[in-house]
Homo-oligomer: A and B are copies of this chain.
Amino acid sequence: MTSETKWLNTEESAAWVRLVALAELLPGALDAQLLRDAGLTHFEYGALMAIADAPDRTMRMTELASRTNATLPRLSHVARRLEERGLIERYPCPEDRRATNATITEAGMQLIADAAPGHVATVRETVLDALTQEQLEQLYAIAGAVLTRLDPDSRLTATSCQFSEGPILAHAG
């Protein structure tokens, strides 16, 4: 069964090209600002924020890997580096001694608290300021629709307040 390919029409192609360009450029822009101003990749920043936002500022490695879309080996390497920099600590989970808990240190809290304003500014400058209120709502719906396919379990969006105002910064003041 050789189902004829349904090629993209002009509108579909144009929208797709723009989406691909966006997905290509956005991560680099976020990494560049955070690396320059805080010495963190966007992935590291997100991981630290996720830990900071968790109860007791503590999270299991597997849970963190799921939330950050990382493989466990990748997260393990990143965690080792963050631990060497004194930004997190790892210790065996008492309840399940196979597991490892990661906790963010005061230094880690301080770092993301210092990094957050610049990051939020970048988010505004590169994305939010370019959109109307209506487009913001449309983006929410569109990205949600696509994520239904790409992330059916909502692993990456289950966070409560990953980038907004909230307890994270209150803690580290």
Indicate if A95 sits at the interface (CB-CB under 8 A): no
| CB 8 Å contact bits of A115-155 with B (1 = contact, 0 = none) | 01100110111111111000111111111111111110000
**Pairs of residues from A and B, 10 with the lowest C-beta to C-beta distance, nearest first:** A13-B164, A7-B165, A18-B143, A21-B156, A5-B117, A15-B140, A130-B145, A25-B150, A8-B164, A138-B138
Contact A145 B125 (CB under 8 A): no
Interface string of A14-47 (1 = CB under 8 A from B): 1111111111111111100000000000000010
Between A and B, 23 residue pairs with Cβ closer than 8 Å are A7-B120, A7-B165, A8-B120, A8-B128, A11-B140, A13-B163, A16-B123, A16-B163, A20-B30, A21-B151, A21-B157, A22-B150, A24-B69, A24-B156, A25-B69, A25-B150, A25-B151, A28-B69, A126-B146, A126-B149, A130-B148, A131-B146, A135-B142
Chain A interface, >50% SS class: helix
Residues of B within 8 A of A27 (CB): 23-24
Q: When the two chains form their complex, are residues B18 and A157 in contact, meaning their CB atoms are under 8 A apart?
A: yes
- Interface size for A (C-beta < 8 A) is 66
The answer to whether B135 and A149 have CB atoms under 8 Å apart is no
